[in-house]
Structure 1
Amino acid sequence: MPLFSRRTAPVDDAPPMPRLVEIGEPERDWIDAHVALVADAGADPDDLAQLSALYERWSAGWRRINPPERDDPVIQVNALGTAFGEYVARRTGLSWRLAEHVDGLDLALYQPRGQVLLRPITIVDEHWRAEEGSGAFLVDAAERLTHVRRLAHGDGGGRRR
């Protein structure tokens, strides 16, 4: 599954764009509560290196447990994915939406101008379930999204300082 979708032309094998709805106060509260879980665990949600290190610490602890005895990591995955999404949202033109698709309903980040759709919780979940130990994918994803944002805003991808 690609990191994010950019829909400029229909692709026969691509899933359809989900129906997107603005988030309300309950979703905003849910986002804030999950970002607070990350902060309570000692990671600054505005520091990508700390988010990556927290992913590595939490997933390593989970992997050390015998698989039949492991708890469902949904709380950690949701907290990390939401904090990562909030990190991205604060630095790009992407904003939170509820995305209704064939698999159900989830939180996503969306930018209408480039039709960029990102499901940050799903990204974390896929890496976690694959038992990937490194949180480097968070840094890579943020760099790629920042590049997409620069292209969408027409500055050619050059860095601003």
Structure 2
Amino acid sequence: MIVYRIANSLYKDDISGYGASIRGARWNTPGISMLYTSEHISLCALEMLVNILITEVKLNFHLLQINVPDTVSISSVAAQKLKQNWRDDEGYTNFIGSEFCKNKNSLVLKVPSAVITEEYNYLINPKHTDFKKVKIQSSKPFIFDQRLFSFK
């Protein structure tokens, strides 16, 4: 399976999940490492746009294409199985993702995107024994189209 990630170019070779562990994010609490990826490049871009400051858009970014072998274990969380207001309750999603990482039952957790609930993000647990099989397949500069920031 190929998944995608947009990262600050300074960290284009880092798939350790350390960045997410510093402050936590939607699906993990601080101290829990997690690698956030998406099924589509466009979803990566949208996820970045809702999570960065407008001043950060001018930073240098890289698009990573990441190979996750088809043989690894994947768990999933269906949007209809989540409580109704899950998008507004980060404590709830923090708990789900953090428990997933702590349990180490699967390498990957497929979750609905809070931006577009019909599309999916793939959360990868760097502490899982199969994480060594996850590889960056390609990396190239990524520039956000400036029209995304002009409202007419």
Task: Name the one with the larger helix percent.
Answer: 1
TM-score, normalised via structure 2 length:
0.30
Task: Name the one with the larger strand percent.
Answer: 2
